[in-house]
Amino acid sequence: MGVMDYLSGRCVFCFAIGGGGDVATAAMLSLALRRHGFKSYVGSVVWERYVVDPTPGPIRFDDVLGGKYIGNYSILVDGRVKAVKGGREVVFQAVNTAKVLKEPVAIVDISKGVYGVWKGLEEVLSYFGCDSVLSVDVGGDVLATGFEDELWSPLADFIGLTATTKVKGVIAVHSPGSDGELSQEYVLSRISLIARHNGYLGIRAVDHEDIKNLEMLLELVESEASRVTLLAYRGDYGFIELRGGSRRTYITPLNLLTFLLKSEKVYELNPVAKTLEDTKDVDEARKKLNSLGITTELDLEEEIYKLILKEVRVSGDVLIGIKERLKERISKG
């Protein structure tokens, strides 16, 4: 477990920066840390995929029923917590993770932009007495520039990256390419670039105990990207489709790896994350990326929601069409 020694202190907050099911992998890494003598806790931003929460945008704290406020920008949730958003009850993946672990999971407020995540992280670190944040991204979109054609969801990752840098955390890219956005080859090329700038800390491979824990977590937690790790462990190799066929990923043994990177170097090599630094609302952050011609997951969700209200089936081809039209519209300002 030597690479984890790059984390300062002996108490680590494992934090899923992209929302959705990445919290399952954050929990897997947290349990691994505990096996090696660390105190470790699990947390996430709360932004569900449209199949779980069709109402656009992250879950705001006003939507959350139950839980214990740590501060203004962070809440501890257990397995009984839920959200009501757009008149619909939503059980988000941090809650499902708490059910599996039988312990509270911390959520921070991405609806308040970088400021909300940054301050939420500070509150959580103080509450748990932790020294380090290990910010987990499954797939590696956090390493994007924002201008890649295949990128679907830069907003949450870039907000999380910026906030992680403010608290001097470590970025953990697990299972390169597994979310069907950036290719595995491209993610590795970005890791190599970060290494050339002295940003590489180490690498870790999943073991049998990790797989048992991930299998347990994925019994309740919804995550196509985290499930790719299980497929790679079982020996699957080659392309599979994700998100209704709108994306695909290439499974290899590299999906068993977690790369640890200095957040400040990832941030320095991101040409657009700096524009989000002072944001205090997720819509403000979205508009800053839009002004640079970058389409975000919030734009996509708004278009999907219009179709859902019309009871149109959102197939993979429909998703691809929406993305292409959005890109054309936003690139024209």
pLDDT digits (tens, 9 = 90+) for 250-259: 999 999 999 9
* Model pLDDT for residues 26-39, shown as the tens digit of each residue: 999 999 999 999 99
Question: How would residue 1 be classed by pLDDT, with cut points 50, 70 and 90?
Answer: very low
Report d(CA 170, CA 243) in Å as an integer.
Answer: 29
Report d(CA 294, CA 145) in Å as an integer.
Answer: 10
Of 237 and 19, which is predicted with more confidence?
237
Q: What is the mean pLDDT of the chain?
A: 94
pLDDT of residue 253: 97
* Model pLDDT for residues 116-130, shown as the tens digit of each residue: 999 999 999 999 999
Domains in the chain and their CATH numbers? 2-291 (3.40.50)
Helix axes 208-217, 224-233, angle to 10 degrees: 140
Identity at 178, one-letter amino acid code: S
Structure tokens at 83: 């959200």
Report d(CA 91, CA 4) in Å as an integer.
Answer: 32
Instruction: Name the 3-class secondary structure at 154.
Output: helix
* Model pLDDT for residues 192-246, shown as the tens digit of each residue: 999 999 999 999 999 999 999 999 999 999 988 899 999 999 999 998 888 776 7
Report d(CA 45, CA 58) in Å as an integer.
Answer: 8
Of 130 and 6, which is predicted with more confidence?
130
pLDDT of residue 242: 82
Residue 3, pLDDT above cutoff 70: no
pLDDT of residue 19: 85
Report d(CA 52, CA 172) in Å as an integer.
Answer: 25
* Model pLDDT for residues 158-177, shown as the tens digit of each residue: 999 999 999 999 999 999 99
pLDDT of residue 38: 94
Q: What is the largest CA-CA distance in the chain?
A: 53
Report d(CA 118, CA 112) in Å as an integer.
Answer: 10
Instruction: Name the 3-class secondary structure at 331.
Output: helix
pTM of the model: 0.95
